[in-house]
Structure 1
Amino acid sequence: MRKICLLTLILFLFKHSLFSEELKIFGQDFFSNVNLTSPETVRFIPEKYFLGPGDQIEISVWGVVEIRQQLEIDREGNILIPRLGKIHLSGKTLIEARKYLQDLFNRTYRNVKLELTLTRARLINVFVMGEVKKPGTYTITPFSTIMEVLGMAGGITEKGSMRKISIIRRDGTKQEVDLYPVFFGSGLPEIVFYPEDTVYVPLGSKFVSIKGAVRRPAIYEIVAPVTIKQLIDFAGGFLSDADTKRIAVIRNDTSGKKLIDIFPQIEKDALEKFVLEDGDEVEISFISKDIVDCIFVEGTVRNPGKYQWKQNLFVSDIISETDFLPDTLVELAEIIREKETGNREIIQFSLIDAVKKIKDIKLEPRDRIVIRSKERPLKKVTISGEIKFPGEYVIYPGETLSSLISRAGGFTPQAYLPGVIFTRVSVKQREKQELEKFIMEKQTVLEKEAGRTESEEEKALIEKSKTLLQQLAQAPVTGRVIVHLEPWEKFKGSESDILLEHGDSIHIPSKPTVVSVVGEVNHPANVLFKNGADVNYYINKAGSFTKNADTKNIFIVKIDGTASTDLKKIDPGDVIVVGFLAKDRPGKILKDILQMLYYVKMIIE
């Protein structure tokens, strides 16, 4: 239990750095859900299918004679029928073979009818190479689909191209395949596979992404110049609550990332003319569902809160001298204004001049009037992520988390409430003290062991432990506080609806797509979440246990920061921790050192 508590504390302090939610690559979901049929399963067989060695056929004859016979075409391409002898069928289509056999039977029998069917197609081997998860040789039928072949190989990797797949024949000829028309409903390409064909998936070269208020947010591969309009079409078009007045493009630049604003309603054909570049990120905002026609008053004033906005509304219409508190700073206040471009403008003004109408300020919808204190600075918090109006907010005494979220416009549709990250400065300070205490205790133990031991192996281990403790001392702490936003309709007034403090930070993530596996596994990894999969599924994906794994010490660090030993309940964003078992080492203290080495190693890696 002590091991779990220690590692949980350390992972809790650093867990936020494990997750940076990313969009999925368009088309990846198909291969995670594809259902493969046996290569010997007979489905639709085209009439123009060419028969060859290994095909199994059924001949049915009726009339003056009745025959029903199943035959396999031999290596020479022949079948053997009593009274007719050897008959060569290889290279003929089903239609040609049916007519040929009908003519042969008509020479021997009168008034007979014949039917020919393919009961099992011959099997061939093809090679699947490049950016697939399980490259190798696979047994298929000549009319297997390209999706089935790629599915057998585990699908395309995140780095692979879905638009420049090559089918290379033995004679060197190629057939190029683009999967996007398949995903968009245009049907499967017509492909007939031949023995020893190579299916090659190259690296994808150019990608752009789109997120927000579109029907299919994702990362898309581009093989030719693509405009914003074409990318929006790829993504299924706008949602009904998309804010189309402004579209943001984030582009990589030599000096870093830069923001490009597009205003379709102002710039004619802007979406059709703007050509995207490799790595561009397009963001489509949602129309706010919050009250639009309102004014916010915050800070050191008698009645902070929301006020109705109307035409020709001024500061003096909602604030008077009777609203001032003894410590209200009347000489300077601020209005934070949201522009149509999405940017914010800060207007500083004299509060007393505005109230006395000496120099009043005309207000616009959603203006935030921030009034400061003479004696103490304003208390501020930050809210970010999947929230309608992220940013820094001034809080008033007694304000709760639910109130802040409401003022920030509420959540976007992409918000993943179980993963909320709430950090607090005072908690961070306490965590830092606890970590410092832990490091000092272990340093004392190491010094005593260094004076006791004469073993070179133990001395080397102690020196390594000292180095790792120094690295741990330099690692940051977060001050995370566990809060549960679900169910949101019951959150207001609940235990998690805590009072806010100056410096609090709230981040609302989008839904993660991975489960992390760390500790004593052969290949610690972030594994794509699979609904219903248990802990063994993820551990196997991470290469299974190492020889030092403590298989009785496995637990889950949930995305909300809590620890659980329920190994059947795995959610997106969870971390599966496999403990370390110190075997065959003399002395309890040395075992503790080994255990500490393991914990520290997990963090610094």
Structure 2
Amino acid sequence: MQTPVITNTPPVQLPAIAPVQAPGQAESEAQKRVTGAEPRAARPLSDAVDRHDFQDFVSQSTGQQLPLYGHNLFAAPSTFAPLQNVPVSQEYLIGPGDELLIRAWGQIDVDYRAVVDRNGAINIPRVGTVQVAGLRYADLTPYVKKEISRNFRNFELIVTLGQLRSVQVFVVGQARQPGSYTVSSLATLVNAIFAVGGPSPHGTMRSIQLKRGSKVVTEFDLYDLLLRGDKSRDAALLPGDVIYFPPVGALAAVSGSVRNPAIYELKGGASVLSLIDYAGGLNTTAQKRRASIERIENRESRMVDQFALDVGGMARTVKDGDLLTVYSISPKFENAVSLRGNVAAPLRYPFRPGMRVLDLIPEKDALVKPDYYLRKNLAARVDAVAQGQLAADVRQLVDTINWDYAVIERQNEQDLSAQLIPFNLGKAVLEGDPSHNLPLKPGDTVTVFSKADVRAPAGRRPVVVSLEGEFNHAGVYQALPGETLRQLVIRAGGLTDKAYVFGAEFMRDSTRQLQEERLKRI
């Protein structure tokens, strides 16, 4: 006995869905929205439409361009048909326009495509008409199998969904792009909100309504989604649904030391605490001793109030048009003195009553920079030294601390001017002279200079001389204060018997550099 075969080849072609153009939208863009061929970029809007007048008001008050919170989420391209290839929910309701793929094997062989007609039914050859509209997708396979079992026995069957129907919805109110749209039957309210570009600057983000007939099916708060990831009030779209964007509610701005300064839409009884929570909380550097609110009183005048961010301050009511400013902590250290410059460890140190320079610089080693030892260590590992480089290396290793001059920088408590208090570093550190071991105050900065920072008198600068050639003890020498070349040569053991004095060369780096500069000018 031959197995009955039920099939339809070629597959049934669905009737084309005519795209419905949104106001100002090209036909090609409307078609892309139906097919999902590629994302639809948001339509460019004028600056006047893109901004709320409260943004300009805040900008004039703070000098900052604060955004409307959440509106940047809709700047990226979006589409109405991103859901065609995702798994269908078991709760999906079958409706007119859905394509069903029916496959069976055993006593019968079925490979059939059927489109639910306007009456909510499909027609299966040798079986008849089967009403499927309103069925859950989870119940579809057992229901169709039951209907076919009236005529056939001993078979297995599975029903899946092919091309899904489209539904027409209407977007009205203060939407960025209101109009009539054709969307996927899998689309939800949130999908549609993103697809139309969200609310306009004059539309609410806190109470977007999905209307079906005369009833409000759900009211969606985008802040629940943005702040907490809560999409529980989302709902599936049905043909004829209306998405209504009411006008924006009360607005308040928060600036300063918060994680997300912006303009926020208030809902219900808003407080300073809830506004700061909207902004992501306080920054690490925010202070709690002082914040301020600028307020519009009775739409007539403006006032400002300062308060601490304690329990009472956080409970303060925030009103429409308020501007909350959270201040950062001062960078000033209340109990520190600083050491900087040619020192081993430029740091801030805790101040102690009676503290003096020697307490900050207790020994000479505190003035030796770490790179001095690094240069010595590296020099010991160098296998070969280029000619003329040795003297330069030695010069770098020579101590360059300016012992004659250091300075304390202090702020005058009366007129807040900066004071420079000089002292002799050598007498303070090396000799312990009380007249130069000056007392310190909180906030002082002690600066130690090198001789390269502040040029010392010629007689006190370190002079390194390289003696090369016919010297009894050729090498690199540090000249003593006031020492002449003749005296230095004698200290080096004098000249050899083969020395030709009239052919001696005397080279000085400063002279060479001067000659090079003059050559560049030619």
Deviations 1:42-86 (A, max 9, x none): 424222222111111212223333323222111221112121111
Q: State the partner residue of 1:249.
A: 293
1:284 matches 2:318: no
Q: State the partner residue of 2:123.
A: 80
Q: Aligned pair in 2 of structure 1 residues 251, 239: CA closer, same or farther (>3 Å)?
A: same
Picking from 109, 134, 144, the partner of 1:66 is: 109
Q: State the partner residue of 2:218.
A: 175
Q: State the partner residue of 2:64.
A: 21
TM-score by length of 2: 0.51
In structure 2, C-alpha distance between the alignment counterparts of 1:29 and 1:137, rounded to whole Å? 24
Deviations 1:114-135 (A, max 9, x none): 2222223211111111112211
In structure 1, C-alpha distance between the alignment counterparts of 2:442 and 2:202, rounded to whole Å? 46
In structure 1, C-alpha distance between the alignment counterparts of 2:103 and 2:72, rounded to whole Å? 44
Deviations 1:413-464 (A, max 9, x none): xxxxxxxxxxxxxxxxxxxxxxxxxxxxxxxxxxxxxxxxxxxxxxxxxxxx
Task: Note if contact 1:32-1:155 (Cα within 8 Å) is conserved in structure 2.
Answer: no
Q: State the partner residue of 1:334.
A: 415
Residue aligned with 1:252, SS: strand
Residue aligned with 1:41, SS: coil
In structure 1, C-alpha distance between the alignment counterparts of 2:92 and 2:254, rounded to whole Å? 42
Gaps of 5+ in 1: 1-15, 296-306, 314-329, 337-362, 368-605
Deviations 1:571-604 (A, max 9, x none): xxxxxxxxxxxxxxxxxxxxxxxxxxxxxxxxxx
In structure 2, C-alpha distance between the alignment counterparts of 1:69 and 1:258, rounded to whole Å? 74
Picking from 156, 160, 169, the partner of 1:126 is: 169
In structure 2, C-alpha distance between the alignment counterparts of 1:40 and 1:75, rounded to whole Å? 23
> Post-superposition shift, 1:92?
1.6
Deviations 1:153-183 (A, max 9, x none): 2221111101121222224545322111111
Q: State the partner residue of 1:573.
A: none
In structure 2, C-alpha distance between the alignment counterparts of 1:45 and 1:364, rounded to whole Å? 74
In structure 1, C-alpha distance between the alignment counterparts of 2:158 and 2:307, rounded to whole Å? 65
Task: Note if contact 2:78-2:195 (Cα within 8 Å) is conserved in structure 1.
Answer: no
Residue aligned with 1:230, SS: helix
Q: What amino acid maps onto 1:154 in structure 2?
A: G
Q: Aligned pair in 2 of structure 1 residues 283, 58: CA closer, same or farther (>3 Å)?
A: same
Q: What amino acid maps onto 2:237 in structure 1?
A: F
Q: State the partner residue of 2:478.
A: none
Deviations 1:206-262 (A, max 9, x none): 011222222222211112011111222222222222222322222223564322222
Q: State the partner residue of 1:542.
A: none
1:353-392 residue pairs with structure 2 within 5 A? none
In structure 2, C-alpha distance between the alignment counterparts of 1:223 and 1:364, rounded to whole Å? 52
Deviations 1:537-560 (A, max 9, x none): xxxxxxxxxxxxxxxxxxxxxxxx
Picking from 221, 238, 241, the partner of 2:282 is: 238
Q: Aligned pair in 2 of structure 1 residues 217, 20: CA closer, same or farther (>3 Å)?
A: closer
Q: How many residues align?
A: 298
Q: What amino acid maps onto 1:132 in structure 2?
A: A
Q: What amino acid maps onto 2:320 in structure 1?
A: D
Q: Aligned pair in 2 of structure 1 residues 153, 86: CA closer, same or farther (>3 Å)?
A: same
RMSD, aligned CA: 3.6
Task: Note if contact 1:39-1:123 (Cα within 8 Å) is conserved in structure 2.
Answer: no
Q: State the partner residue of 1:207.
A: 251
Residue aligned with 2:75, SS: helix
> Post-superposition shift, 1:293?
5.2
Q: State the partner residue of 1:166.
A: 209
1:35 matches 2:74: no
Q: State the partner residue of 1:109.
A: 152
Residue aligned with 2:148, SS: helix
1:185 matches 2:229: yes
Q: What amino acid maps onto 1:21 in structure 2?
A: Q
> Post-superposition shift, 1:188?
5.0
In structure 2, C-alpha distance between the alignment counterparts of 1:190 and 1:122, rounded to whole Å? 20
In structure 1, C-alpha distance between the alignment counterparts of 2:117 and 2:291, rounded to whole Å? 64
TM-score by length of 1: 0.44
Q: Aligned pair in 2 of structure 1 residues 55, 271: CA closer, same or farther (>3 Å)?
A: farther
> Post-superposition shift, 1:308?
10
1:546-561 residue pairs with structure 2 within 5 A? none
Picking from 137, 147, 150, the partner of 2:190 is: 147
Residue aligned with 2:149, SS: helix
Residue aligned with 2:200, SS: coil
Q: Aligned pair in 2 of structure 1 residues 260, 44: CA closer, same or farther (>3 Å)?
A: farther
Task: Note if contact 1:138-1:152 (Cα within 8 Å) is conserved in structure 2.
Answer: no
1:507-546 residue pairs with structure 2 within 5 A? none
Residue aligned with 2:269, SS: coil
In structure 2, C-alpha distance between the alignment counterparts of 1:98 and 1:364, rounded to whole Å? 86
In structure 2, C-alpha distance between the alignment counterparts of 1:178 and 1:281, rounded to whole Å? 23
Q: Aligned pair in 2 of structure 1 residues 333, 216: CA closer, same or farther (>3 Å)?
A: closer
Deviations 1:169-209 (A, max 9, x none): 22454532211111121125231222222111111120112
Q: State the partner residue of 2:306.
A: 261
Deviations 1:479-512 (A, max 9, x none): xxxxxxxxxxxxxxxxxxxxxxxxxxxxxxxxxx
Q: Aligned pair in 2 of structure 1 residues 87, 120: CA closer, same or farther (>3 Å)?
A: same
The percentage of aligned residue pairs carrying the same residue is 27
Q: What amino acid maps onto 2:111 in structure 1?
A: R
Q: State the partner residue of 1:194.
A: 238
1:393-542 residue pairs with structure 2 within 5 A? none
Task: Note if contact 2:189-2:237 (Cα within 8 Å) is conserved in structure 1.
Answer: no
Deviations 1:344-401 (A, max 9, x none): xxxxxxxxxxxxxxxxxxx99779xxxxxxxxxxxxxxxxxxxxxxxxxxxxxxxxxx
In structure 2, C-alpha distance between the alignment counterparts of 1:192 and 1:145, rounded to whole Å? 4
Q: Aligned pair in 2 of structure 1 residues 187, 364: CA closer, same or farther (>3 Å)?
A: farther
In structure 1, C-alpha distance between the alignment counterparts of 2:216 and 2:205, rounded to whole Å? 20
In structure 2, C-alpha distance between the alignment counterparts of 1:123 and 1:221, rounded to whole Å? 34
In structure 2, C-alpha distance between the alignment counterparts of 1:39 and 1:127, rounded to whole Å? 19
